[in-house]
Amino acid sequence: MFPLGSVHFPGVAVPLHVFEDRYRALIHHLIPKPPAERVLGTVAIREGYEVGDHGAQSVHRVGCLLQLTEVEDAGEGRFDIAVVGRRRLHLHEMDVTSEPYLVGTVSLIDDEVPAPGTPLAGAEDEAMARTIIAFDAYRTALGELRGTTVLTGTIPNDPLWCSYALAATCLLTLRERQALLEADDTLTRLAMLQLAMRDEMRAIRAVPSLPATEVARTRWSPN
């Protein structure tokens, strides 16, 4: 397990810098494995820190299964790695003593994917279309605020992966991202995203200095 001060989503690729002893041990453990078995879990830290003697004091229970896709030696025992989110997970308990790195007992959370042509599939497609329209307006407003194009990239043309990609991309608090990760279904997550973007655009119109000035360009992959 790799507790982090951020929320990660299935389908989204992110870089990480590994320098703490227990996480370096985890990477050393994963490197000899076949690519498909180089997996680790992450959960967002609720209280505490990513590093230090005390570390995470408490963590959220819903997290993400990550696959290690790239490893680069950064010198002095450190690593620059790339991971891709695969599936959501639920952390039941964490073992902090049996290995040099954290080990968790988890169950994987399956996302319901409706059959094409069913009412649920149609509802998800309609919700995705509305969410993409909201996102286009949202990133236009942010771009005008910053004076440059922001939040670039191709949005996955699938409701589930679209919901995860936008959850990772929009400028949200950790609490908001965690709520999106924990959403029971894709329709709920898309509705939550629309509401969050509408709220942010109202804030932009009211007080232009409210949104974050550093806009992330998050790389995602639906594979």
- Give the pLDDT score at 205: 74
Report the phi/psi class of residue 151: left, alpha or beta, with left for phi > 0 and alpha for psi in -120 to 50.
left
CATH architecture assignment, domain 13-109: Roll (2.30)
d(Cα 178, Cα 62) in Å, to the nearest integer? 8
Domain covering 119-206: architecture:
Up-down Bundle (1.20)
Q: Are 185 and 120 in contact (CB under 8 A)?
A: no
Q: What is the pLDDT of residue 153?
A: 78
Q: Are 46 and 63 in contact (CB under 8 A)?
A: no
d(CA 91, CA 161): 22
Cα–Cα distance for residue pair 174/45, rounded to 1 Å: 9
Domains 13-109 and 119-206 share a fold: no
Mean of pLDDT values over 21-49: 90
More reliable by pLDDT, 211 or 77 = 77
**CB distance 47 to 58 below 8 Å:** yes
Token output for 204: 């932009």
Q: CA 115 to CA 118: how far, in whole Å?
A: 6
Domain ranges of the chain: 13-109, 119-206
- Output the pTM of the full model: 0.85
Q: What integer pLDDT is reported at residue 48 of this predicted model?
A: 59
